[in-house]
């Protein structure tokens, strides 16, 4: 898998009061960003991180003995894990992150793939 973007993790552990998150976040990053990790589905994630959870289109990891939460979006087809947000457990419990991270927003349609109805509607009509 390829983790995008490590600077978000670093920004969190360098912020006051979160220094103890550095070790667990580095360990998570090292594990997930390894070339040997190639999750094809949720089953692969759960095999590596039994306490991870799916929330809409987001995957939530418990970090640092459940002290922190790491919100990600995983794209199995492209083998990418996007870091959306890192927060404390108490911030997580406030539930604001669900809207901030867009966990329940429908994904935009993929470029180049249209339904026949959409393609027909966009096709110029004869004169």
Domains of the chain: 2-97 (3.30.2310.20)
Express each pLDDT in 7-64 by its tens digit. 999 999 999 999 999 999 999 999 999 989 999 999 999 999 999 999 999 999 999 9
Indicate the SS3 state at residue 119: helix
What sections of the chain are H helices per DSSP? 6-13, 22-32, 42-48, 89-93, 97-101, 116-122
Mean pLDDT of 75-100: 92
**Residue with token string 């039994």:** 50
User: How far apart are the C-alpha atoms of 70 and 83, rounded to whole Å?
Assistant: 7
Q: Is the pTM of this model over 0.85?
A: no
Task: Work out whether strand 58-63 and strand 68-75 pair parallel, antiparallel, or are unpaired.
Answer: antiparallel
């Amino acid at each position: 898998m390829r983790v995008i973007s490590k600077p978000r993790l670093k920004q969190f552990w360098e912020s006051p009061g979160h220094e103890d998150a550095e070790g667990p976040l580095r360990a998570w990053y090292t594990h997930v960003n390894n070339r040997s990790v190639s999750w094809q589905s949720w089953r692969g994630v759960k095999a590596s991180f039994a306490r991870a959870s799916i929330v809409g289109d987001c995957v939530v990891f418990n970090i640092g003995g459940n002290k922190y939460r790491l919100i990600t979006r995983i794209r199995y087809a492209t083998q990418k894990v996007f870091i959306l947000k890192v927060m404390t457990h108490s911030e997580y419990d406030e539930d604001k992150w669900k809207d901030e991270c867009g966990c329940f927003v429908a994904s935009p349609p993929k470029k180049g793939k249209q339904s026949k109805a959409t393609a027909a509607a966009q096709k110029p009509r004869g004169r």
